[in-house]
């Protein structure tokens, strides 16, 4: 069975991309892989997302920052699993910390289609410590990259 991959740069979850990917997987009767890609340099303090205030209030050094990032990913993973289960879409979730381009491409090799947030490249904080860009990965990957914008709605359109 081929699959689609939801590629997430950083611990955040763009819900519009998740919705799009789940709709595609359900419509095409495919499974969905979710892949969190986290850069090597983690923030030492600050708020990752305002909704994650409880987790990030106590981030004061790199050890607690890493644990905070991992907890956010765990919470987002549980949410993704619940959403996929409710839609009867098989899902596999994985996290790569500071991957090389080759390791990321290896994780994407079975993916027919890769969903990314259209604005992912705009988030300099998440991308600055990765040794590649999304455009480079898209160029080298065998799968088709779909950049999903907040206003995009999944339809019955076929993907070239």
Q: Which residue has the higher pLDDT, 138 or 127?
A: 138
Question: Measuring CA to CA, which residue among 12, 56, 66, 65 is closest to residue 34?
Answer: 12
> Minimal CA–CA distance to 35: which of 83, 76, 87?
76
Of residues 12 and 123, more confidently modeled = 12
pLDDT tens digits for range 24-83: 999 999 999 999 998 865 544 444 555 555 555 554 555 677 788 889 999 999 999 999
What's residue 160's pLDDT?
35
Is the model more confident about 51 or about 150? Answer: 150
Per-residue pLDDT, 129: 73
pLDDT of 157: 39
- Backbone phi, then psi, for 4, in 5-degree steps? -105, 155
- Position 146 scores a pLDDT of 92
pLDDT digits (tens, 9 = 90+) for 89-128: 999 999 999 899 999 999 999 999 999 998 877 765 666 6
Domains in the chain, CATH or no CATH each: 3-111+127-141 (3.40.50)
């Amino acid at each position: 069975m081929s699959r689609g991959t939801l590629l997430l740069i950083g611990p955040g979850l763009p819900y519009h991309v998740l919705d799009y990917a789940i709709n595609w997987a359900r419509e095409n009767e495919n499974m969905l892989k979710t892949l969190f890609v986290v850069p090597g340099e983690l923030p030492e303090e600050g708020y990752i997302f305002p909704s994650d205030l409880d987790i990030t209030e106590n981030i004061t050094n790199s050890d607690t920052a890493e644990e905070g990032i991992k907890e956010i990913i765990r919470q987002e993973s549980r949410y993704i699993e619940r959403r996929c289960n409710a839609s009867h879409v098989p899902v596999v979730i994985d996290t790569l910390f500071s991957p090389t381009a080759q390791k990321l491409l290896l994780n994407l090799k079975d993916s027919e289609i890769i969903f990314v947030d259209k604005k992912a490249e705009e988030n300099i904080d998440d991308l600055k410590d990765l040794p590649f860009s999304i455009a480079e990965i898209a160029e080298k990957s065998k799968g088709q990259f779909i950049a999903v914008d907040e206003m995009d709605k999944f339809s019955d359109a076929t993907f070239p």
